[in-house]
Amino acid sequence: MTTADLTTLDQAGLEAALQKAGDTVKALKAKKVSKEEVQPAVDHLLAVKAEVKRRAEQAQKDGTAPKEFDRAALDALLAQRFFVAPSFQIYGGIAGLYDYGPPACALQNNILAAWRHHFVLEEDMLEVECTNLTPESVLKTSGHVDRFADYMVKDVKTGDIFRADHLVKQVLKQRLDDDQKLKSGLKVKVAKGKPQPVQLDKEVRDEYDMILETLDNYVGEDLTNLLKRLEIRAPETGNELSEPVLFNLMFETQIGPTGQFRGFLRPETAQGHFLNFKKLLEFNNDKMPFASASVGKSFRNEISPRQGLLRVREFTMAEIEHYVDPTKKDHPRFGEVRNVVVPLYSASAQAEAAGPTKLSIGEAVDKGIINNQTLGYFVARIYLFLLRIGIDPARLRMRQHMANEMAHYATDCWDAEIQSSYGWIECVGCADRSAYDLTAHSKRTGERLTVQERLAEPIVTNALELDILQPNFGKTLKKNAKVVETYLNGFKNEDEEWNEKELTKLDEEIKAKGSVTVTAADGNQYELNSTLISITRKTKKVSVRNYVPNVIEPSFGIGRILYQLLEHSYYVRQDDEQRAVFKFRPGIAPNKALVVPISQSDRETFEPHIKQVVSALRRAGVANKVDNSGASIGRRYARNDELGTPFAVTVDFQTLKDGTVTLRERDSTKQIRESISTVVGLLKELVEESTTWEAVAKMYPEFVAQEV
Amino acid sequence: MTTADLTTLDQAGLEAALQKAGDTVKALKAKKVSKEEVQPAVDHLLAVKAEVKRRAEQAQKDGTAPKEFDRAALDALLAQRFFVAPSFQIYGGIAGLYDYGPPACALQNNILAAWRHHFVLEEDMLEVECTNLTPESVLKTSGHVDRFADYMVKDVKTGDIFRADHLVKQVLKQRLDDDQKLKSGLKVKVAKGKPQPVQLDKEVRDEYDMILETLDNYVGEDLTNLLKRLEIRAPETGNELSEPVLFNLMFETQIGPTGQFRGFLRPETAQGHFLNFKKLLEFNNDKMPFASASVGKSFRNEISPRQGLLRVREFTMAEIEHYVDPTKKDHPRFGEVRNVVVPLYSASAQAEAAGPTKLSIGEAVDKGIINNQTLGYFVARIYLFLLRIGIDPARLRMRQHMANEMAHYATDCWDAEIQSSYGWIECVGCADRSAYDLTAHSKRTGERLTVQERLAEPIVTNALELDILQPNFGKTLKKNAKVVETYLNGFKNEDEEWNEKELTKLDEEIKAKGSVTVTAADGNQYELNSTLISITRKTKKVSVRNYVPNVIEPSFGIGRILYQLLEHSYYVRQDDEQRAVFKFRPGIAPNKALVVPISQSDRETFEPHIKQVVSALRRAGVANKVDNSGASIGRRYARNDELGTPFAVTVDFQTLKDGTVTLRERDSTKQIRESISTVVGLLKELVEESTTWEAVAKMYPEFVAQEV
């Protein structure tokens, strides 16, 4: 598409073009092509951006601009109705730490209950609870002590600290903004002592745009050079910055009074599962495959967290570790998800900037887009779970990691990304961690974290073996016998099998020269001949196979999912801009039913009926709250719309005559009128999601007469 | 009772006498009576202990000794069936940190679900989730930074650290044991270089016994002197010890990369509730009283934790903070618990060593044994909760704190104590924290954490008030005006009312001498007279009352409750010593039903029936596990007895003919035989505890024919 064509596109077409243009630049940059080659793509991206901006300004002028999502209004509502609050707010708060008030706490409990039902119960997973406190040795093995870090820079005079990539982003965006203002003749205010903003050449603008699109690629020296070349300084003071250094994101502490155990708060729950692998396998009667699951807190000492609930220092995770035979990654229940259609954004599609494709999981695995059935099974199950709790399918995709962004332990990884006003955000990761962790912990501790499979038929093997010829070996090498033996054992792999190639080499050399000289771990050389070792081919019957299982890990950031669900559920009534609503599904909503008397004036008259409704609801297991405050009935409904309460049961003057009550649904605001027992029965079904309001509204006449 | 009478007592009588004798010594010591006065009580205690020992030895000889609870066997079972495991066991583990495997994890989930149902839902509490990470300032205010500590001593040469009171206990017990061995002519082995054990005079033995009974009373200098007088040394090395110093039990860490926020892992969840008090009150539409609730981890860096799951460094708490008007501590639902009879061990009964008394909660509050209705209400509700989850009522009591053991913030406190092989252990605390925390946080932050009560009728007050006479005050005192004004405001109490007594004094002095000289916070003296301030009596109409609520706090140590429940539920089948069972109630049991085919040989024949049972159970919400392993049916039942699974559904050859299955109950091992739908329906009712096995066994004929 040429830039000129852009004006002919409809709005959806333009948005698609914007996405594609951005993806194209990213893909080219990931391929590390030359600046010249990427330039046309950058030009095109800027042209699309310009057209988007032009249209938005035009719509603003015409008054036809669509009502934009107002994050500030949502944030205000979340604070006002105590969904969340900054922790220790009366002490000034600390960035990245939040408390959940009653509505968010109930919402999270319901999401976790749905999660346990969807995964743990349905798949018979083994739930464990491991400690947050973790000794250094464990996290050293897992790689977190050395590699779980972000780059930070320091203001050399004040000591203020910034996360390097975030700072670059902030400064470049500021420069681009200033440039645009200057070009349109606006003045840019600058505090005293700070550098004056300058107009930028087109070339520089283009470079900044490109850096912003590909910031993740800059690490180590590249990042140091970038900061120097861009002359990035501390934004408030204008002081110089130190070179970027890695800051480990784990919270450190001492376990025990003597300080002998350096420890950390875990950055993920996964390691606890792995350390218990042998016990879990035994608990599962040694049957493979199986999964462990855990819900708990994890901690990351973010350098300077922003983005509200999406980047926090303490958060709830729900993690699954599914252990599977590396040679049999089929999944017994794959047939159940084969036809589930999922928006998949594969690594190759990203490289070609092609956008996500809707594909059945079966097809994706058959074509090799998803590596294996087990990974595919979980990609589908994660997708279904997110839909089940109410995530908007139009703002949900499964994106494969590109090779350069994969975690150090992963061989393939798919993220569930959910779109909100913060962009596309990773909320669930589904990685194939291979045998990385179990192998590492096993090597470090000497504990064998393997599965023993009894073979249906013994396998006859025919392989080279090395034998040490005692007593001559001991007599000849004396106190060095041990170190030489250790050297020779180095020719075995993890499964205790001899390396055929190395043994052949050794054998040939001895046969050719009569002896071979080797260098052991003590640095000394030893001469070995056929009186000390023998290398022969042997035939053996093997009836057990040992293997380290591979691990498929679906890992859920519950807080992120919760926030995205809040954005997806939030809307403002069209007929009344003052009235915000959360359209939570009945199964997930914090509270299920509001119970109200129509007015407070005859409180005692209504009281027994209210009690009757409440006790019937409690028996039916429907969470409910009574609001018998003096506020108008409309106000009380509105207050519960703001909490996302899906239903309201109203006791009114007709109740006193015939024992009927009204049942109101939140989004339609429609009501029906039936006996208390009918309404309670319907509510039970609605909340269990075994029926829908649409079905109920069809079966029962609408009630419209009630006046407030 | 004289010592001679002891031999005539039956076993229960002797145990009661032992309890009473111990309590008597404790009570006397708490009263700080002289050594001479307490001596007869100590003599009696030793005589009772001797009689207990004599009988145990006799019973052993006669072979009539009752089967003792075997903690080692329980611990082995808990490890073997992966209820719990030391965390990081393959790395050697760290004392005081445990992981929960699948059975304990499910058990804890079920206990917490019961807790939420019993408290949060039933009482409409506001559940919150606050962070584990807590900045120092908050815990400074709450008193934890200064006071949350235990005494430790250090081996001056090796640096090894011991908790002082635990060390005294260990050393004195050792000395008493050695003494007894020496007296009975046995040799005591002592490692080289360590002091030889010595025989003790009766006086010394008595003193040691008394110290062991009253160790909690030694703090500060008393403890230092005790260690010196007893010549306590490091047990392994025999080295000298440092003087005892307080070690703060909180885990410290740094929040953020610059180290500017010193923080701790919270030692309790309570502070998070308090900091959010204003938001909670507003969420509750300003209605009092109400409660917040929270479930989460807390952390205590124990000096050297032993006692397994009862003393750990990281644990789950469930805490309630109930906010109440200090002048109206009645509870609206008190009537519902008035007749609940609870074993209460009041402070005065402890002082008299009288033992607990069974009393109705109504009587206890009426008599002033429990301070107020709200505290009494929660004492009863806690007791009912513990019974509901299966704690043995014979090993449960509510014990009031004596004045010398009360936490610094509490005005009254009752512990739910549960008895196990570790003795009587505090598992729930129920404290009246008064207005301590809210007042402290309010003072520190300047945020008013009060309730505004609109009075039904305005109150007319007539009180002295102080007015600053501007502009003269400012003109005269100039830059010192502020400091003098602050000084004068010091005569106001928290509710902004002037102190009548102080103002009268001031007024009289000015009237008598013409002026008064005061010393302000800057250390300077200022002369005040009637041109600067005026003190007059004013009549005012007040229509709002401000008050800081009191807080009643039921605080549950979930891990301790869980362990005690394990001990109370554990038994060994009388007919088969190999078969251990947990008799968990159906509502609490980790897994509800085992589903088994009678044999593995016809696996494919049984499979569709197994699937039918499982899917019906899943629909009914009954958690179940299939065991189609090759083990015998008896072995598979036994494995599930060890997990406390209350029911088993068996598919056998008769199922193939008529579609019936058997339902087996764990403790009776009895079975009935009915259709799948009948059995699933019964299981649903049994697990919801809306019926009992006894009732089911009466209604359906016993099935006995099945042979394995």
Q: What is the pLDDT of residues B674-707, one digit of tens each?
A: 999 999 999 999 999 999 999 999 999 999 875 5
Only one residue has tokens 């001596």, namely B39
For the segment(s) A84-144+250-438, the CATH number from 3.40.718.10, 3.40.640.10, 3.30.930.10, 3.40.50.2300 is: 3.30.930.10
Chain A contacts in chain B segment 149-188 (CB below 8 A): 152, 159-161
CA distance A292 to chain B (A): 9
* Arithmetic mean of pLDDT, A552-576: 94
DSSP B20-58: HHHHHHHHHHHTT--HHHHHHHHHHHHHHHHHHHHHHHH
Alpha-carbon distance of A406 to A632, in angstroms, equals 56
| Contact call for residues A115 and A385 (beta carbons, < 8 A) | yes
CA distance B9 to chain A (A): 47
Q: How confident is the model at residue A134 (pLDDT cuts 50, 70, 90)?
A: very high
The pLDDT value given to residue A494: 64
Tokens in use for A237?
Answer: 């003071």
Q: Give the Å distances, CA to CA, from B580 to B4, B530, B642.
A: 41, 86, 6
Quick check: A137 and B91 CB within 8 A? yes
| Contact call for residues A301 and A251 (beta carbons, < 8 A) | yes
The pLDDT value given to residue A322: 98
* Percentage of residues of chain B with pLDDT beyond 70: 97
- Residue B588 has, within 13 A of its CA and on its CB side, a CA count of 23
| Contact call for residues A558 and A317 (beta carbons, < 8 A) | yes
Which residues of chain A have a CB within 8 Å of the CB of B306? none
Q: What are phi and psi of B466, to 5 degrees?
A: -105, 130
**Exposed, middle or buried: residue A697 (CB in 10 Å: 0-12, 13-18, 19+)?**
middle
CA distance A303 to chain B (A): 6
The per-residue b/e assignment along B420-450, b for 16 or more CB within 10 angstroms, e otherwise, is bebebbebbbbbbbbbbbbebbbeebebebb
CA distance A648 to chain B (A): 17
Q: What is the CATH number of domain B456-547?
A: 3.30.720.200
The three-class DSSP label of residue A470 is coil
Tokens in use for B65?
Answer: 């000794």
User: In the predicted model, is pLDDT for residue A67 greater than 70?
Assistant: no
The pLDDT value given to residue A344: 97
User: In the predicted model, is pLDDT for residue B263 greater than 50?
Assistant: yes
More confident residue, B198 or A432: A432
Prior bond of B267 cis (ω within 30°): no
The pLDDT value given to residue B65: 63
* B508 shares contact with chain A (CB less than 8 Å): no
Residue of A nearest to B257 (CA): A303
More confident residue, A577 or A417: A417
Tokens in use for A355?
Answer: 């956008």
pLDDT digits (tens, 9 = 90+) for B573-586: 987 767 999 999 99
| Residue A462, beta-bridge partner list | A539
Tell me A121's DSSP state.
I
Alpha-carbon distance of A632 to A618, in angstroms, equals 25
The pLDDT value given to residue A226: 93
Quick check: B106 and A127 CB within 8 A? yes
Alpha-carbon distance of B668 to B502, in angstroms, equals 75
DSSP E strands: which ranges in A46-179?
84-86, 98-100, 126-127, 133-135, 149-154, 161-163
Quick check: B283 and A108 CB within 8 A? no
- Please name the amino acid found at residue B131: T
Alpha-carbon distance of A579 to A330, in angstroms, equals 50
Name A631's Cβ contacts closer than 8 Å, sequence gap at least 6.
A639
Nearest Cβ partner for A301 among B91, B132, B255: B255
Of A207-211, B89-93, B640-644, B652-656, where does mean pLDDT reach its minimum? A207-211
Of A45-49, A347-351, B640-644, where does mean pLDDT reach its minimum? A45-49
DSSP E strands: which ranges in A618-694?
624-626, 647-651, 660-665, 671-675
pLDDT digits (tens, 9 = 90+) for B117-146: 999 988 899 999 999 999 999 999 999 999
Alpha-carbon distance of B261 to B328, in angstroms, equals 40
Instruction: Identify the residue among B77, B81, B91, B615 best suited for mutation to test binding to A, counting A beta carbons within 10 A and taking the highest.
Output: B91
Q: How many residues does chain B have?
A: 708
The pLDDT value given to residue B441: 95
* A625 shares contact with chain B (CB less than 8 Å): yes
Chain B contacts in chain A segment 530-549 (CB below 8 A): none
Quick check: A280 and B100 CB within 8 A? no
For the segment(s) B84-132+268-438, the CATH number from 3.30.930.10, 1.10.390.10, 3.30.300.30, 3.40.1000.10 is: 3.30.930.10
User: In the predicted model, is pLDDT for residue B93 greater than 50?
Assistant: yes
CA distance A690 to chain B (A): 12
Q: Give the Å distances, CA to CA, from A26 to A47, A207, A213.
A: 16, 13, 6
Q: What is the CATH number of domain B573-699?
A: 3.40.50.800
Which residues of chain B have a CB within 8 Å of the CB of A104? 129
Residue of B nearest to A97 (CA): B131
The pLDDT value given to residue A71: 93
* A85 shares contact with chain B (CB less than 8 Å): yes
Alpha-carbon distance of A421 to A123, in angstroms, equals 34
Alpha-carbon distance of B572 to A457, in angstroms, equals 41
Quick check: B108 and A129 CB within 8 A? yes
User: In the predicted model, is pLDDT for residue A30 greater than 80?
Assistant: no
Chain B contacts in chain A segment 289-318 (CB below 8 A): 297, 299, 301, 303-304, 313-314
CA distance A254 to chain B (A): 7
Q: HEC profile for B667-678?
A: CCCCEEEEEHHH
Quick check: B128 and A90 CB within 8 A? no
Cα A107 from chain centroid (whole Å): 18
Quick check: B97 and A261 CB within 8 A? no
Chain A contacts in chain B segment 109-128 (CB below 8 A): 109, 121, 124, 126-128
Instruction: Pinpoint the alpha helices (H) of A63-125.
Output: 71-80, 102-115
Chain A contacts in chain B segment 234-293 (CB below 8 A): 247, 251-258, 261, 263, 265, 272, 275-276, 278-280, 282-283, 285
CA distance A40 to chain B (A): 41
CA distance A252 to chain B (A): 6
Nearest Cβ partner for A99 among B128, B254, B304: B128
Quick check: A283 and B127 CB within 8 A? no
* Ramachandran category for residue B488: left, alpha or beta (phi over 0 → left; psi -120 to 50 → alpha): alpha
Nearest Cβ partner for A257 among B152, B256, B314: B152
Q: Which of B411, B457, B415 is nearest to B434 (CA)?
A: B411
Name B686's Cβ contacts closer than 8 Å, sequence gap at least 6.
B586, B646, B647, B692, B693, B696
The pLDDT value given to residue B63: 67
pLDDT digits (tens, 9 = 90+) for A177-196: 888 888 877 777 777 767 77
Which residues of chain A have a CB within 8 Å of the CB of B81? 283
Q: How confident is the model at residue A259 (pLDDT cuts 50, 70, 90)?
A: confident
Tokens in use for A687?
Answer: 């909340």
- Please name the amino acid found at residue B618: R
Tokens in use for A577?
Answer: 């801009």
Nearest Cβ partner for B135 among A88, A100, A282: A88
More confident residue, A418 or A160: A418
Q: Which of B312, B162, B315 is nearest to B233 (CA)?
A: B162
| Contact call for residues B595 and B661 (beta carbons, < 8 A) | no
Residue of B nearest to A629 (CA): B285
DSSP E strands: which ranges in B300-438?
314-324, 341-345, 357-360, 396-400, 412-420, 423-434
Of A402-411, A550-559, A694-703, B201-210, where does mean pLDDT reach its minimum? A402-411
* Arithmetic mean of pLDDT, B322-339: 95
Of A184-188, A454-458, B668-672, where does mean pLDDT reach its minimum? A184-188
* B97 shares contact with chain A (CB less than 8 Å): yes
* Percentage of residues of chain A with pLDDT beyond 70: 97
CA distance B566 to chain A (A): 17
Which residues of chain B have a CB within 8 Å of the CB of A109? 127
Q: How confident is the model at residue A212 (pLDDT cuts 50, 70, 90)?
A: confident
The pLDDT value given to residue A708: 47
Name B513's Cβ contacts closer than 8 Å, sequence gap at least 6.
none
Give the helix/strand (H/E) hosting B291. Answer: strand B290-299
Residue of B nearest to A161 (CA): B258
Q: What is the CATH number of domain A455-547?
A: 3.30.720.200
CA distance A189 to chain B (A): 30
* A102 shares contact with chain B (CB less than 8 Å): yes
The pLDDT value given to residue A558: 98
Nearest Cβ partner for A99 among B129, B445, B627: B129
A vs B: CB pairs below 8 A: 209
* Arithmetic mean of pLDDT, B435-444: 92
A6-15, A179-188, A335-344, range with greatest mean pLDDT: A335-344
Q: Give the Å distances, CA to CA, from B178 to A266, B165, B235, B375, B614.
A: 45, 20, 14, 47, 60
**Cα three-residue angle B16-B18-B19, rounded to 5 degrees:** 65
pLDDT digits (tens, 9 = 90+) for A234-249: 888 889 999 999 999 9
Q: Which of A111, A214, A124, A112 is nearest to A169 (CA)?
A: A214
Q: How confident is the model at residue B708 (pLDDT cuts 50, 70, 90)?
A: very low
**Cα three-residue angle A463-A465-A469, rounded to 5 degrees:** 160
CA distance B382 to chain A (A): 21
Chain A contacts in chain B segment 331-370 (CB below 8 A): none
Quick check: A258 and B161 CB within 8 A? yes
User: In the predicted model, is pLDDT for residue A462 greater than 90?
Assistant: no
The pLDDT value given to residue B184: 78
Instruction: Identify the residue among B276, B321, B438, B449 best suited for mutation to test binding to A, counting A beta carbons within 10 A and taking the highest.
Output: B276
Quick check: B258 and A159 CB within 8 A? yes
Alpha-carbon distance of B44 to B9, in angstroms, equals 15
The third-level CATH classification (topology) of the domain covering A149-248 is Herpes Virus-1 (3.30.40)
Which residues of chain A have a CB within 8 Å of the CB of B301? 254-257
